[in-house]
Structure 1
Amino acid sequence: MDIDLRIEGYASLFWTRDLNDDVTAAGAFAASLAEGTPVAMLHQHDETEPVGVWDAVVEDAKGLFVRGRILRTTPRGRLVAALVEAGALDGLSIGFRQVKARTQGRLRVLSRVELWEVSIVTFPMLPGARLTVG
């Protein structure tokens, strides 16, 4: 039996306003992903306790798609996996640095970002950023 919990979902959806009035443009992650720097899997953006690994982080026509494994080899990993399996935790959220953006009214349109991490969260800033067990 595989001890890891396999998950996937969209951590960002292109051209979709989040609760902070940010919109991510298609291609915003391309340069960062091309650098090949690993993207951390965290719980609630807590960099002190990674909970797994992202095996795939790619842009497609819809947004930033991620596929990975929550590792049950740590206490936090076991907790997060149990919460995901119970349906209590299903949000995804990105941690990034803005490289290039423009404002359009109240919106900040992100055209280039440096992606640091994708977190499993209770309340995603982008309500449609959700994971599924797979």
Structure 2
Amino acid sequence: MAGRGGLGRPRRAGTAAGGDRGAAWPVGHDPVSAPQAPLRFAGYAAIFDKRDSGGDVIRQGAFARSLTQRAERGERLPLYWQHRPDRRIGWIDAAIEDHRGLRVTGTIDASAGLPARALVTRAVNGLSFGYRVTAGHATPDGRELHAVDILEVSLVSRPMQPSARVHLAG
């Protein structure tokens, strides 16, 4: 990802995000510099009853037990960059099942660098999650998941569920 869209290269002051020197930002303003404070975000890590690109369908209630157990143990869900456990970039502050899916809110660390810039510039806006299946069954088209143990949420370039998206929150 570092080579696309200029995210991995420093940009000269006064150059717009697309590299067009005719559309300058105010002097001293770099739209893709690392945020100085943690970023708050919200979005859906999972969408219920829609088949993902791997053939899985998550059913409503699939996260309930895992989320309750984590809360009872006082465990926070980590936020990873592209499912890489060596790149924890923040934490999930709340994860709630609603009628649509698993809605999450969280914080990206100010020190996250590229992932934070990618979210700010909307170069990356997908969410995904890591899990273990605890109840489900195979179907002709994939799997139906009735209960999962959620392990992490990730900011990703290409979510398995195309509707699993994230946005900055106030």
Q: TM-score normalised to the size of structure 2? A: 0.74
Question: Using the alignment, how far apart are the partners of 1:2 and 1:60 within structure 2?
Answer: 32
3-state DSSP of counterpart to 1:124: coil
Identical-residue share of aligned pairs (%): 37
Which residue does 1:39 correspond to in 2?
77
Q: Report the alpha carbon displacement of residue 107 of structure 1 after superposing the two structures with TM.
A: 2.6
**Which one of the candidate residues 14, 24, 38 is aligned to 2:58?**
24
Which structure has more strand as a fraction of its residues? 1
**Which one of the candidate residues 45, 69, 85 is aligned to 2:120?**
85
Q: How large is the RMSD of aligned CA atoms in angstroms?
A: 1.3
1:122 and 2:166 aligned: no
1:51 and 2:89 aligned: yes
Q: How does 1:105-116 map to 2 (within 5 A)?
A: 105-116=140-151
Unaligned runs of 5+ in 1: none
Letter in 2 for 1:34: T
Question: Using the alignment, how far apart are the partners of 1:2 and 1:83 within structure 2?
Answer: 15
Q: Report the alpha carbon displacement of residue 78 of structure 1 after superposing the two structures with TM.
A: 1.9
Question: Using the alignment, how far apart are the partners of 2:58 and 2:90 within structure 1?
Answer: 25
Runs of 4+ in 1 over 6 A off after TM superposition: none
Contact 2:36 2:110 in 1 (8 A): no
Which residue does 1:100 correspond to in 2?
135
Letter in 1 for 2:147: R
Q: TM-score normalised to the size of structure 1? A: 0.93
Q: Report the alpha carbon displacement of residue 53 of structure 1 after superposing the two structures with TM.
A: 1.1
- Determine which structure has more spread, i.e. the larger CA radius of gyration: 2
